[in-house]
Amino acid sequence: MNEFEFIRRLRDQVRSRKTSSRLIEGIGDDATVISQVAGRDAVISTDLLVEGVDFYREATPPRLLGHKALAVSLSDIAAMGARPLWSLVSIGLPSGMWNQSFTDEFFGGYLALADQYRVTLAGGDVSETKDGIVIDSIVVGEVATGAAIARSGAHAGDQIYVTGTLGGAAAGLKLIEMGARLSQESGVRSKESGPRVLTSGLAHDDHKPSETAAIESLLLRQLCPSPRIGWGIVLGEERLASAMIDISDGLSSDLAHLCRESSVGALIQSDALPLDQNVVKLCGRRALDPLALALHGGEDFELLFTVRSEKVERLPKRVDGIETSRIGEITNESKVIRIAEKNHIWDLQPQGFQHFKGQV
């Protein structure tokens, strides 16, 4: 299969799907063309995933890699309060990997997630690499004019919220580094059957069925993240959040970004943090610290946002089955982030990033 055959196959796959009339040129031309409409802002995110840094090939089924490549960039769109609509993907693979088995799986996972949120793959680029997979994932979304939620809008007194639970993805990464793996079948996830997961590789380790289920869940938190699209859209459309960021580096780091951009500080309540219960379940038997992972672990792709006090009661209880937790309050001490734990208050230092990586 050469690149032109590959692109034609991909175009055929995409053309068989429903698409918006606003997409004028999709896959197969020099660039993507989308008609603009007055009264809306375009929101564009890009996320670079590099093998060996952002994922391990041997631990990541191609189908889940395709899912994750799109999910991380969808999460950035959600973090702006926007609705995702179109995507582009630039993908570089070593020569031996341009075969149908890898690319069909990769784009199978990618397009299944795209379909779920009615996102249309509308362009991109392909290249060979000398070694190693590299993916740049681009998503284009929209909000009503002026409704995008920046990191810079938080004020003292705003309440701090986070969706879902924290620490699971980082625990999943630790388990992968300890040798845990999804079974081969988990790569062949279909809409009907849901993920089928078997852990393996945690040798000499006699664990109960409930532990196996917890390990599976944590591996999927890491390998198959769920972007909080529904929450992003609700917060953007209802103008409920004053500032927002997604948790990719870790709560302590991402809260520090938000506070720096807003020139504010924050006080977090330790016992309000929504710890991942699978991490709690495993923490006695493994070197997993639920609180440390919730504070500093990255890649949960939950939304961290602030809400003016008078708007708090308008927040929905849950969106798409995902609840939020109020974890603290914005203060006027610029860039000072503290955490209250029982009767003590500590300074919280950002520790969530482990390598050179960040949104430009």
Q: Where are the alpha helices (DSSP H) in 240-302?
A: 251-262, 277-282, 290-296
Q: Report, in Å, the least distance between residue 192 CB and a second copy.
A: 28
Q: Report, in Å, the least distance between residue 42 CB and a second copy.
A: 5
Angle (CA) 350-351-357 rounded to 5° is 100
Q: Report, in Å, the least distance between residue 139 CB and a second copy.
A: 8
| CA terminus-to-terminus distance, the chain | 35
In this complex, which beta carbon is closest to a second copy, that of residue 35 or of residue 193? 35
Structure tokens at 341: 């734990």
Q: Report, in Å, the least distance between residue 276 CB and a second copy.
A: 23
In this complex, which beta carbon is closest to a second copy, that of residue 235 or of residue 282? 235
In this complex, which beta carbon is closest to a second copy, that of residue 45 or of residue 217? 45
In this complex, which beta carbon is closest to a second copy, that of residue 208 or of residue 355? 355
In this complex, which beta carbon is closest to a second copy, that of residue 123 or of residue 167? 123
DSSP-derived 3-state class of residue 260: helix
In this complex, which beta carbon is closest to a second copy, that of residue 196 or of residue 353? 353
User: How many CB atoms within 10 Å of residue 289?
Assistant: 15
User: How many CB atoms within 10 Å of residue 186?
Assistant: 21
DSSP-derived 3-state class of residue 256: helix
Q: Report, in Å, the least distance between residue 141 CB and a second copy.
A: 8
In angstroms, the CA 192 to CA 289 distance is 35
Q: Report, in Å, the least distance between residue 123 CB and a second copy.
A: 6
Q: Report, in Å, the least distance between residue 80 CB and a second copy.
A: 5
Which amino acid does the sequence have at 222? Q
Q: Between β-strands 83-94 and 120-129, what pairing exists: parallel, antiparallel or unpaired? A: parallel
Give 1: exposed, middle or buried? Use CB within 10 Å, 0-12, 13-18, 19+. exposed
In this complex, which beta carbon is closest to a second copy, that of residue 134 or of residue 283? 134
In this complex, which beta carbon is closest to a second copy, that of residue 57 or of residue 285? 57
Structure tokens at 51: 């093998």
In angstroms, the CA 221 to CA 212 distance is 14
Query: Which residues are registered as beta bridge partners of 318?
Result: 323
User: How many CB atoms within 10 Å of residue 89?
Assistant: 24
Angle (CA) 343-348-354 rounded to 5° is 145
Q: Report, in Å, the least distance between residue 194 CB and a second copy.
A: 29
Which amino acid does the sequence have at 20? S
